[in-house]
Structure 1
């Protein structure tokens, strides 16, 4: 199966969910044009409270559509944009990518993967009990975060549903994703 964008979402105001759009424009070094999380420095409230001068490694949030079916099997209805992602994908193991992976999206946009989204308690406000579905433990007891990945924009461009995604892995040794 080819990797593809299934939805794009953005919101100019702080809210948990982001409405779906016909397209979004990615701006190099900033993020999604008009999105509340766009900027050179951190914009997520929890990160701003810690240190507002830190670089924004969370410019664009990507989430795999396959997660919706997984949580749906547990009784949770979730659709594109509901969990605040900017780009919803299908056919790519986002969580298995190493840090520094380059994603070419559509005709022009280039993203660099920086890490995992660290889901917060707002997920349970959206759907009670959902946080336990997107954060858990594997057989060895290691923490597993499933709520998508974060990236920065290396080259801007317009992204639309149906756009292809090409993956370019970084040089080895690969570093596994961790929360950012």
Structure 2
């Protein structure tokens, strides 16, 4: 199987986890229709408190399902939507993509990757010790964030489980992902 959407999730409330849906609709320049993070400007509560006029670079949260397999091996049971993502993927190295990568999700929707999700302590409220599994350090002491990527909607459209994902890299030189 090639790169594909495994699950789609949304929630109109600022809850940690999001329920799995049959489909979500992405709205250009805004995010996921009906989701608490929908908007041109930041919607994440801590960022709104800092500066509510900041552009919303976190309209869509994507996580690779391969992370769930890794977490399962470490004794953590995590399923689509549990970590608050909107789109769960398979077959795409999300964390290895450069800034500006376009992900074509299904027939119409396009999401531009803006950066890495920076998980907070709330993740330990979901499962004690999980934060250490998704944020750590590599051999050189650099922080490694594994809790997915964030993006903005460039072209709207419906996204369903089973939809193909097509990756279009930006023209180089490529910039590695940083937290957003």
Query: How does the TM-score come out when normalised to structure 1?
Result: 0.99
Aligned to 1:135: 135
SS at match of 1:124: helix
Aligned mates of 2:94, 2:74 — CA distance in 1: 21
Aligned mates of 1:72, 1:175 — CA distance in 2: 31
SS at match of 1:48: helix
Q: CA deviation at 1:46?
A: 1.2
- Deviation string 1:8-40 (CA, Å, 9 cap, x unpaired) is 000001100000000000000000000000000
For structure 2, the residue ranges without an aligned partner over 5 or more in a row are none
> Where does 1:1-80 land on structure 2 (aligned, <5 Å)?
1-80=1-80
Aligned to 1:112: 112
SS at match of 1:158: strand
Aligned mates of 1:46, 1:94 — CA distance in 2: 25
Structure 1 moving runs of 4+ over 2 Å: none
1:154 equivalent to 2:169? Answer: no
For structure 1, the residue ranges without an aligned partner over 5 or more in a row are none
- Deviation string 1:94-122 (CA, Å, 9 cap, x unpaired) is 00000000110000001100000000000
Aligned mates of 2:2, 2:50 — CA distance in 1: 39
Aligned mates of 2:8, 2:30 — CA distance in 1: 17
Q: CA deviation at 1:49?
A: 1.1
Aligned to 1:176: 176
SS at match of 2:131: helix
Aligned mates of 1:14, 1:111 — CA distance in 2: 22
What is the CA RMSD across the aligned residues, in angstroms? 0.5
